[in-house]
Chain A
Amino acid sequence: MAAKKFPIEAGHIMMFARAVGDPNPIYHDADAAADTEPGNVIAPPTFYQSSAQYDPDYFLRPKIGEAWFGSGKNPTGVPPKRTGGDGGTGLHAEQRFEYFRHVSPGETLTIKTRPGNTWERQGKRGGKLTFSENITEYFDESGELVVRATGVGVRTEKVVESD
């Protein structure tokens, strides 16, 4: 499951904008943002992905008291997950956002997710590729859809070789 509620916070937006290397004051300076057209700090275009922070079960975050598949004493803390054949892995193939409005700190979004299409393709470097879509919709407090995010994941049979 995904997060159900996503509180939009100024500090989170500031840290996210720093991480993507965007110095635009509209992401960290409320006074400067007041003089812009939106009139407020707003979230950067890909910020919505960080709603994963509020997903209690998000599998790519270590859980307190549970073994983690990254390295500690050993290269992995748990037996490697199903990777299919020769160490293939799941990768992010595509991401799309549709914006109906840009959100500001103080709002709390409600999230609904649903699966989209699934399809297969023969890859050049990684063997058979399985694609699957996941659609995440973010609603504001009045129930209006503000952002729709569509992610496409791909699972490879083999490790993707780099050139």
Chain B
Amino acid sequence: MALQASKIQVGDTHTQKLTDDLSRTQIVQYAGASGDYNPLHTDEIFTKEIANYPTVFAHGMLTMGMTGRMVTDYVGDGRLTAYGVRFTRQVWPGDALTATATVDAVREEDGQSVVDLSVSTVNQDGDVVVMGKATAKIDP
């Protein structure tokens, strides 16, 4: 079911928990599926000893992909026309992530109802890890 313009207004929010405890294995899964095998995401020894980070961290695109679930669950399947984020903070194994969409505008474009959303995902400390925008075609 797609979102309906008549049932939402500017300022409405939709929040979804993405994970309680991001596992290293999920990061490995993402490396395998996406093809981004950068050792910074999966190789603790390289990441600590060569790259000088405290531990491996998630691909930004994993956080964006997880956040995308919240967006498509809200607007409906196949409805997105734009989705973009900035990666504002690293996501580490063990992080808990919660994503929120906020309705910025409900408008008509060539007779089609459209919603503009602000999107952000925060970690367990309330720090924003990704923030951005999404636009979707919705029902009247």
Which of chain B's residues have a CB closer than 8 A to the CB of A96? 82-85, 132
Q: How many A-B residue pairs have CB under 8 A?
A: 159
Q: Please tell me if the beta carbons of B80 and A15 are within 8 angstroms of each other in the complex.
A: no
Q: Please tell me if the beta carbons of A16 and B34 are within 8 angstroms of each other in the complex.
A: yes
Q: Please tell me if the beta carbons of B69 and A22 are within 8 angstroms of each other in the complex.
A: yes
Which of chain A's residues have a CB closer than 8 A to the CB of B84? 94-97, 150
Of B36, B46, B73, B78, which one neighbours A38 at CB under 8 angstroms? B78
Q: Range of interface residues on chain A?
A: 35 or more
A87-B52 CB under 8 A given contacts A20-B68, A45-B68: yes
A24-B73 CB under 8 A given contacts A87-B51, A93-B86, A99-B82: yes
| Chain A at the B interface: SS class | loop
CA distance A21 to B66 in the complex (A): 6
Which of chain A's residues have a CB closer than 8 A to the CB of B103? none
A97-B34 CB under 8 A given contacts A24-B77, A37-B76, A42-B77: no
Q: Does A102 contact B (CB under 8 A)?
A: yes
A60-B82 CB under 8 A given contacts A21-B26, A21-B69, A45-B72: no
5 pairs, CB–CB < 8 Å, chain A vs chain B? A37-B76, A37-B77, A37-B78, A61-B36, A91-B60
Residues of chain A touching chain B, judged by Cβ–Cβ distance below 8 Å, are: 12, 15-16, 18-22, 24, 26, 36-38, 42, 44-46, 49-50, 52-53, 55, 58, 60-62, 68-71, 75-76, 80, 87, 89, 91-100, 102, 150, 159-160, 162-163
Residues of chain B touching chain A, judged by Cβ–Cβ distance below 8 Å, are: 2, 18-19, 26, 29-30, 32-40, 42-43, 45-46, 49-54, 59-62, 64-66, 68-69, 71-73, 76-78, 80-87, 90, 92, 127, 132
